[in-house]
Structures are given as structure tokens and as C-alpha cells.
Structure 1
Amino acid sequence: MVVFSALLKHKNFTLAAKSLGVSVSHVSKQLALLEQSLGVKLVQRTTRSFTATEAGERFHRHCQKIVKIIDEAQNEIESQRDEVEGLVKLGLSQSFGTLHIIPAIQELREQYPNLQVEVHLFDYKVDMLEEGLDLWITNNEHLPEGYIARRIADCQFVVAASPDYLMQYTAPVNPHDLSDHNCLIYRSWERDYTNWAFVNLEQQLNVKVSGNYSVDLAEAVRDAAVAGWGIAYLATYLIRDEFKNGQLIQLLPEWKASQTMPFYAVYPSRHYLPKKTSAVIEFIKDKIGNPCYWDVQLSPYISRPN
């Protein structure tokens, strides 16, 4: 069943064999034995394609549940170990992981020499079971059912533009002034990012913005702002260096961008969390800090009204 699940995940005999650490011939033999035992064809193969039959899809759904139970049993045993050791398959968003977690992996390895970390970068909703992840650090609001989600950090937002843009256009003094500006839109399937939220000492405002550029990659919004294309509402984890280098300047300093971006550590089970997974969670949580370390570093450049 583990072999069949790997085949359905990778859609390729070579990749499935590599993921399991076995030979291609072993995978092929196990599939043949499984089909013979069940008396049905589980996959359709040609020289160019590999697809599951209807029976194969049904069997795969049951296999996933069984593999999850096996993983939980293994986690229960591993949780009783005193040492932090073994492999952790860690899922990260591409931008956040590249900027803030991957640079710290060496420190994690030095702290736990017997720990191996396999990083997977995603910019989409992840099926943790399908991807075989032990841990997923995400800001995704649609978290998988049947998993534990522990909130480990809250990232702030700031409204910003480049000096070049501000040389051409008068800076907004009130959130309503944004209607006169070209606003750069982050496009997301899970949230409406054309609704920018603000708060000051007296009131809260939600402003509907528009512009001639939208993109589904947060770094691309940041880069467009640096290039002077318009005004952006940016998560602070993206912009530390750009503020330090003077490439971006905060706008509306009397108003706080009231939206936050929570980060979660998502894992399969609360009861039998392996020490290796727990150690990685605590390391990442401490590394990010509370408040987030990048917000502390940005404090000389960003005003935050109470």
C-alpha cells in the first residue's frame, strides 16, 4: 500500500522508487502482486502516461488512511525517544521559507546533529498526506481537517511606495486618498487583498483599492513597488532590506495597517508528536520571535500608532 501510494503521488515509477529508497523493479513487482491479489487493474500505463483506474482511485483513498495510521504509530514510538533524531519533512511557503527559515537550517542542524531536514517549498494549498509532510509552516487560512494547527507568530503589514513614485505623485495623507493612486494588488484565492484595513487612535477604516497591476506572488508586488509602479500593502517579512536600503518608504504613518498575517505550525497529531517535529517547531517559533524579529529590525523605519 505504501508503494502504491507513492506511485499515485509521483505518477512515475522512477520517482516513486527513489522516494522509497528501493529499485524500480521492486516497485513494479509490488504493483503486479497487489493487482494480482485484488484481482483488478489499479493503473493504466502507456509509454507517455500513468493514470489510476476507477478501482485504483478508490483503493488509493483507503491506502492514504492506512498509511496515515502507520505514520501515527511510528510517531508514537518516536515520541518516546529521548534524542532528537531522524528525518523531518518540512513544508514552507516559497517566499517566507527562502527569506527566513532556510538561512537558519544550518543552525538547527548544529543544535541537533542527528536531525535531517527535507524542505519542500510551496506556493499553493498543500495536501500534507499526499506530500508526506511531518510539519507545514504556513500562513494559509484554509488549514487541513484532521490536523493540529498551532499559531506561532503574527506578521504585521505596512503601506509603502518607492522614492521614485513619491517624486511623481503626492503622498496620501488619509487612507481614502488611495483612490487617487495606482495600488498594486496581491491576488489570492483565499482572501480579498483589494480591501485594505487601517486603524488609528480614533477610528477604523476599510478602503477598497484598485490599480493596473495584480499578481499572485507577494515578492512580485514588493518588486513592483520598489520599481515605482504604485503603492503596496505589504507583509513586513518581505520588506526588511528594502526599508533599510531606502528602496521603500512607509506611507500613512498616522494609520496602522490593521491586518495581520498569522503563521501556523501544522502537524498530524497532538497525542504522539515526535520529539524531532516538536524540536523543529520550537526552533522556528523561537527564531521568528514575539514580536517577529524582522518587525523589531524595521522599528527604526516604521511608525506604528497605538
Structure 2
Amino acid sequence: MSKLPDLEAMAIFAKVVEARGISAASTDTGLSAPTISKALARLEQRLGARLFNRSSRRLVLTEAGRDLADHAARLLAEAEAAEAALVAQSASPRGTVRLAAPMSFGVREVAPLLPAFLAAYPDVSIDLHLADALVDIVGDGFDMALRIGALPDSSLVARRLAPVPGLTVAAPSYLARRGRPPHPAELAGHDCFAYAYLRTRDVWHFANDAGETVTVRPSARLRVNNGDAVLPAVVAGLGIAGLPEFLAREALADGRLERILPEWQSLVSSLYLLMPPGRPRPARVQVLADFLAERLSRREG
């Protein structure tokens, strides 16, 4: 005998008792009469006791059947209540959403949005994981992730939200001392800073409106695995960096940095919202996905 109780047969038994017959239980449950009869026979064999005295017109509970009926009814009621609670939870936003995002982008662009979301959905909480290293969304149990850059082929559901322009920047003091390179090829002779998680780690790519492309391997005085970590060295005038626009925005606005090679574009990345495959999604996940998509999407160009 299996160590686990036959809960399906127990639930069917409870429905037959409640409906006062197999035909009525078949109508209530949508199960065929033969399926119900087989479940009852299976339960009787398992328990070693007859549960009904059967006649041509009706079923009458035996003593063993009466003893079991109350227990089966409670089990069925508890299972139906648990199922109803889970369905309600899936239908209304409630529970925790695990979200992963790149460190600097998460701090600067995502975190400021979350108070408005939490105020709008008081029954939803967010577990925000910030790291520039790629996470295993499915393996690590995340509901969704924001990711910047080219996406490898995968089974993940990807939603492109916005372009993420890359800018080449330097401090005025560096440019005064070393000069302003007129062409990307001259970056090879300058002090530069590298980002460890670039898909092409030590190679910078540029293109202009005329369709020309240039690939440069600059010497990296400092390599970091987080964009914010390079800002102090760039602002201090120690070299040139390629940074996403959101990271360089404030320093460009207040004059601590200047954009160089403006006619040459670094290859533009994109911001994606990634989720594991499968539908439907719990309401808590869907409302956060829609919220982030609305707030983070930007017009092209």
C-alpha cells in the first residue's frame, strides 16, 4: 500500500455522500460515473471495508462509510478552501516579487520608481537583487530581471523596453593635459578604463552616420565590474571611459565630464525585461512587469 492517502478517491467519496448518489456527483464534478465508481472501489480496496451498501435504486452508507464521511468532508472542504485562497492570490496582486537588476541602473533608475509602486499595491512586496553579474533567473528563483546588452538565445521571455546609448567621456582636466582624440583609433594611445562585464570585454566598437565602423583595443589602467566604480577616476582626470548615458548624465550636466567623439556612436545597447517562460503569471508579477515597462520605456532616439 502506498504511504500517501488516496486523496482523490477520498474527495470523490465525499462528493458522492454530499450529492447522495453517483449520478448527481457526476453532474457536480464533471467526472464520468464509471470514473467515480472506480475511485470508490479503489478506496474500499485500500481501506479493506465496504463504504456503501448498493441497491438498484440508491447507495446507503455502511457503518465504515459513516465513520469516514465526516473526515472526507473536512478534507474536501479544506482542499477547496486552500485552492480558492491560491486562486484569489493569483487573481489579485499579493505576495513577494523577486526582481534582479544591474547594480548602478538599479540604484539610479529602478529604486526611485519603487515607492510609487509599493504605494499603489500595498499587498505586494519586492525582493530587489542588485548585481552586474548575470543571474540565473530560473535557477535562482527570480520572477523577473532587468538586463542591459545583447541577449543570448534562451527560453526566457524578453521584452525590449528602451535603447541604452553609450557615451565616450573624459574630464576637462584630462583633455587639457592629453588632448581631445579626433578619431576612435587614437584611443589606443590614451589612458582608458574598462568594464569587466562587456560582452567584448577589452574591445570598444564605434560607428558613425556614414556607416564607417571602428574597433579599438584601448589600454585599460583600471578595470571594474561596476560602472559607478569608474566615475571617480574619470572625473579626477585620469583617463577616458565608455559609459551608459544614465551613468554619465549628472557629471555631464554639471561639467565634471565632457563627451568626446560625439559623431561616433558606441554600439547602442538595449534594456530588456526578462521573465521565465510559462503562463499565466501571478497578478503580483504581472503588475510589476507592466509598471516597470511603462516607466522605463523611452522613445527611440
CA contact (8 A) 1:142 1:190 kept: no
1:119 to partner: Cα distance: 1.1
Structure 1 or 2, whichever has the larger Rg, is 2
Note if 1:90 corresponds to 2:123. no
What residue is the counterpart of 1:15 in the other structure? none
1:77 to partner: Cα distance: 4.5
Note if 1:168 corresponds to 2:177. yes
1:288 to partner: Cα distance: 1.6
What residue is the counterpart of 2:35 in the other structure? none
The 5 A counterparts of 1:174-193 are: 174-188=183-197, 190-193=199-202
Instruction: Give, as a single letter, the amino acid of the residue that structure 2 aligns with 1:114.
Output: D
CA contact (8 A) 1:155 1:260 kept: yes
Partner Cα distance (1:132, 1:144) in 2: 20
Given the alignment, which residue of 93, 117, 137 partners 2:126?
A: 117
CA contact (8 A) 2:100 2:146 kept: yes
1:185 to partner: Cα distance: 1.4
> Quick check: 164-173 or 106-115, which moved more?
106-115
1:265 to partner: Cα distance: 1.4
What's the secondary structure of 2:233's corresponding residue? helix
What residue is the counterpart of 1:138 in the other structure? 147
What residue is the counterpart of 1:235 in the other structure? 244
The 5 A counterparts of 1:274-285 are: 274-285=282-293
Structure 2 unaligned segments of length 5 or more: list them. Answer: 1-82
Note if 1:199 corresponds to 2:219. no
> What do residues 82-127 of structure 1 show as CA deviations (whole Å, max 9, x unaligned)?
x333221111221111111111110111222222112122232212
CA-atom RMSD in angstroms = 2.7
CA contact (8 A) 1:242 1:248 kept: yes
What residue is the counterpart of 1:266 in the other structure? 274
Instruction: Give, as a single letter, the amino acid of the residue that structure 2 aligns with 1:229.
Output: L
1:142 to partner: Cα distance: 5.7
Partner Cα distance (1:153, 1:286) in 2: 10
Partner Cα distance (2:169, 2:194) in 1: 13
Instruction: Give, as a single letter, the amino acid of the residue that structure 2 aligns with 1:220.
Output: A
CA contact (8 A) 1:226 1:247 kept: yes
CA contact (8 A) 1:197 1:204 kept: yes
What residue is the counterpart of 1:291 in the other structure? 299
Instruction: Give, as a single letter, the amino acid of the residue that structure 2 aligns with 1:288.
Output: L
Partner Cα distance (2:211, 2:203) in 1: 23
What residue is the counterpart of 1:54 in the other structure? none
Partner Cα distance (1:224, 1:116) in 2: 37
Cα separation, partners in 2 of 1:190 and 1:157, compared to 1, 3 Å: closer
Partner Cα distance (2:198, 2:256) in 1: 29
CA contact (8 A) 1:139 1:263 kept: yes
Partner Cα distance (1:143, 1:136) in 2: 14
Identity of aligned pairs, percent? 25
The 5 A counterparts of 1:14-25 are: none
Partner Cα distance (2:294, 2:273) in 1: 13
Q: How many residue pairs get matched?
A: 218
What's the secondary structure of 2:219's corresponding residue? coil
Note if 1:223 corresponds to 2:232. yes
Partner Cα distance (1:124, 1:95) in 2: 12
What residue is the counterpart of 2:217 in the other structure? 208
CA contact (8 A) 1:91 1:122 kept: yes
CA contact (8 A) 1:219 1:238 kept: yes
Instruction: Give, as a single letter, the amino acid of the residue that structure 2 aligns with 1:99.
Output: R
What residue is the counterpart of 2:110 in the other structure? 101
CA contact (8 A) 1:222 1:234 kept: no
Partner Cα distance (2:145, 2:291) in 1: 14
1:242 to partner: Cα distance: 0.9
CA contact (8 A) 1:215 1:221 kept: yes
TM-score by length of 2: 0.65
Post-superposition, which runs of at least 4 consecutive aligned residues in structure 1 deviate over 6 A?
none
1:189 to partner: Cα distance: 6.8
CA contact (8 A) 2:103 2:226 kept: no
What residue is the counterpart of 1:249 in the other structure? 258
Partner Cα distance (2:154, 2:88) in 1: 23
Partner Cα distance (1:144, 1:134) in 2: 19
CA contact (8 A) 2:100 2:142 kept: yes
